[in-house]
Structures are given as C-alpha cells and as structure tokens.
Amino acid sequence: MPLGTWLRAGTSAAALVLATAGAATAAPAPAYEPSAARAAVVTLRYDDSRAGGWEAAIAAGVASWNANVSNVKLVEAAPGTQAEIVIVATTGWPQATLGPVRPGRQVRVELGSQAVGQGYDKTRIAAHELGHSLGLPDTKPGPCSQLMSGSSAGTACTNAVPNATERSRVQSAYANGVAALVPAGGRILVDAP
C-alpha cells in the first residue's frame, strides 16, 4: 500500500477515535438557571419616609448604586415593612452607620441640611451616605472622582457615581449573595469637613 494511502487511513482513524472519545466523555453543559443568578443579588430596602425634601436626591443616589453594582439592589420599602436602611433628614451634618448592612439588620443615614446650606450637592450627599451603608468608609482627602471623598472634594463636586475601586469593594462585601461576615460595629461616620 502506498504511503499516501496509509497516511490518509491513519488520519481518518485518529479523527474517528478522537471524535468517539470526545463524545463518550463529554458531559452536557449545565443549563443556565436564572433563579440561581438572581439568588446572588442581595436586596436591601430603604425607608425615606422621614427624609422630606431629599426624595429626588435619594432616588438619584439609589439609581447610581443600582446601576453600578450588580449583586446589591436597593429598593424602597413598602409602608409598614422593616427597612435595612433608614434615611432621615436632619439639620446637622450628614452622617451614616458604617455597614455593610445585611438583610434583616438596620443602619441609619442622616441627610443633613447644614452641608446643603454650605453648598454641597444633595445627590452626591445621598449617594455618599448610602455608600457608608454598603460598607465604604470615607477616603478623605480625595478627588471628586471618588464618591467616598465626600466633602473633601469641595462644593463644586457633584459626582454621585462610585469609581471602580468603590464598586469593587461593595461587590466584594456582598459576594455570593450575602454581605461579608464582618462586624458592622455600629460606627457612625460624620461627614463634616
């Protein structure tokens, strides 16, 4: 038998063996299960019923976090439902309990009008204080591009969007569908300059 015939026969046999072996050992790919993907998202309810005058800023701050992290979703609590994040309007400086808050637990956010009176942006304040609830400390002093730089970025700063590092830290804190098992501690962070 000529060499070319042997090579063609050998190549065909090898291909047949490989195809058969691959079919015999291949397992079906797992089906995509949307319910499993949804289970990884932590839903945190907020109550802003005592935050009169801040509704638009809170809605914008919530929208910013919901658009920038995928495993935490902030939703407004239905009346009479316990919320994990209680938001109130005050006359002092903004402050919040440092999280990360876990479902069934509770933190408090105070949106202070003193900061607004000095020229700070309401939406940035609301998004910043929500960031504390999600486990982010202040990064003062810091540039306007860091949401958690707070008042140190100055009154001209209106950025209410977490940067990549801030998003990553929140994603890590709520990885696998639960807040990281770190003590919330109840530490209050006051955001006065």
Catalytic residue set: 129
Q: What is the DSSP string of the chain?
A: --HHHHHHHHHHHHHHHHHHHHHHHPPPPPPP-HHHHHHTPEEEEEEEEE-TT-HHHHHHHHHHHHHH-SSEEEEEPPTTS--SEEEEEESS--EEE-----TT--EEEEEEHHHHHTT--HHHHHHHHHHHHTT-----S--TT-GGGGGGG-TT----S--HHHHHHHHHHTGGGS--S---TT-EEE---
